[in-house]
Structure 1
Amino acid sequence: PAEVPAGPYDALLEAAASALDANDFDGAVQAYKNVLSDDPGNPEAKLGLAQAELLGRVQGMDPQAVRKEAADNPGEVNAQLAAADLDLVGGHVEDAFGRLVEAVRRTAGDDRDAARLRLLELFEVIGPEDPRVTAARTSLARVLF
């Protein structure tokens, strides 16, 4: 079999993946952003950036405290954002998406934008082909329009 030639960003993507593996989320974010500044459509860098940002956000969170805060304050967008991040990292994809669609429905202005943008970021982590993303996009469209 022929060797596949190295892509122009392979070294940067490898460095970013190594940073991610070492829990250096800031380093991984920067490395992925470097690739995206030259190649904005790079799917590997887009996915890696979304993952690194998500893992950086949940690092050091107290899951019980975050979930209690979100349950006690359904209208508090930052609490819902944090809980959705934890849901996604914990494999509860539909819960994360549902929580954020509900936050978009319930809020307005900057809070609504924050919930909508976080939902779009989490779609990147899961991938656009996933049926859960498709279903959540449909729900989001319903609450927006």
Structure 2
Amino acid sequence: MSAAEKEAVQAFRTDVVEPSMTKLVIIDFWAEWCGPCKALTPVLEKVAAAYADKGVVLAKVDTDKNQFIASQFQIRSIPTVYAMFQGQLVADLTSARTESALRTMLDQLLRQLPIQGEAQSQEAELEPLIAMGEQVLAEGDAERALSIFDQLVEMAPEHPAVLSGRIRALVAVGAHDEAQAMLDTLPEEAAKRPDIERARAALALAQSAPVVDDLAPLEAAVTANPDDHQARFDLANAQMAAGNRDTAADNLLAIIASERDWNEGAARQQLLKLFEVVGLEDPWVSAQRRRLSAILFG
């Protein structure tokens, strides 16, 4: 190995390998004459900057000036983009030529690797607080839940789970206009997150299932005529508004079992909204999905 090669190896260790011991390093193999490299560079720089607090850094390797390093990685075409963690290549990112594709691949890697950037540290701090807010909200203490999520928004104003919790707490206390205003001001990327979709579903459900002070007339109507699907549907909506998800699901499933296409499938659509609000990973939702499947396919 020549002196120049030894110098190149040492520089690579300093600039790439050592940072990879604690961070995820994106290695961009490029050259000045490479047109596609120049097109990709702004994408890599933008995403790396956005993910810096998550422990991601960008290292650029000019293959013309570092031919020995390029040969060690068997670089045959450029741009070639790898990800390194703890001195090992963990992914080939070359196919990710757009910002969204690169973000998707990085998100997958960050979920799998024990990288502790500022964002991960904050996530660890927020996780039990978010869980507490969710528990309080599930128990029906909407005012207290809103207070918890108000404080969390100050700590993490862009965190999807925090924003979702606050929006759903606003819905629970009846502040629908404020909940809608929060949804309307979210960035497009955040608005597509599952947490936010859950919050949007909660608002839509609340707007379609207003609170009824006295359920007795609706209950009496259903008892008098079990086939009155509209009365049963209205009762289910009122039960959802009151937080009685079990009885609401029972009534919606009863409609589906009797006439699945009633009112263009309104009962099934409302039940799916309820699932989304509760959370698709919730054991209760899994149990109700099994009941729905048994009706539809049993």
TM-score, normalised with respect to structure 2: 0.39
User: 2-side partners of 1:66 and 1:30: how far apart?
Assistant: 33
Distance apart, 1:26 and its partner CA:
4.6
> Which residue pairs with 1:49 in the alignment?
200
Secondary structure, aligned partner of 1:58: coil
User: 2-side partners of 1:36 and 1:103: how far apart?
Assistant: 38
Contact 2:211 / 2:241 at 8 angstroms: preserved in 1? no
> Which residue pairs with 1:93 in the alignment?
245
Instruction: Select the structure with the greater relative contact order (CA < 8 A; seq sep ≥ 6).
Output: 1
1:50-103 C-alpha deviation (Å, 9 max, x unpaired): 322333322355322232233333223332222223333444332221211111
Counterpart amino acid of residue 53 in structure 1: A
User: 2-side partners of 1:8 and 1:94: how far apart?
Assistant: 30
> Which residue pairs with 1:24 in the alignment?
175
Q: In the TM superposition, what are the counterparts of 1:62-141 in structure 2 within 5 Å?
A: 62-111=214-263, 113-141=265-293
User: 2-side partners of 1:94 and 1:22: how far apart?
Assistant: 21
User: 2-side partners of 1:29 and 1:72: how far apart?
Assistant: 38
Aligned residues: 144
Distance apart, 1:35 and its partner CA:
4.3
Whichever structure has more strand as a proportion of its residues is 2
User: 2-side partners of 1:132 and 1:17: how far apart?
Assistant: 18
Whichever structure has more helix as a proportion of its residues is 1
Secondary structure, aligned partner of 2:293: helix
Distance apart, 1:17 and its partner CA:
5.8
For the aligned residues, what is the CA RMSD?
A: 3.5
User: 1-side partners of 2:165 and 2:244: how far apart?
Assistant: 28
Distance apart, 1:104 and its partner CA:
0.3
User: 1-side partners of 2:186 and 2:294: how far apart?
Assistant: 34
Moved more, 131-140 or 81-90: 81-90
% identical equivalent positions: 23
TM-score, normalised with respect to structure 1: 0.71
Secondary structure, aligned partner of 1:7: coil
Contact 2:168 / 2:202 at 8 angstroms: preserved in 1? no
From the CA coordinates, give the structure whose radius of gyration is larger. 2
Moved more, 87-96 or 111-120: 87-96
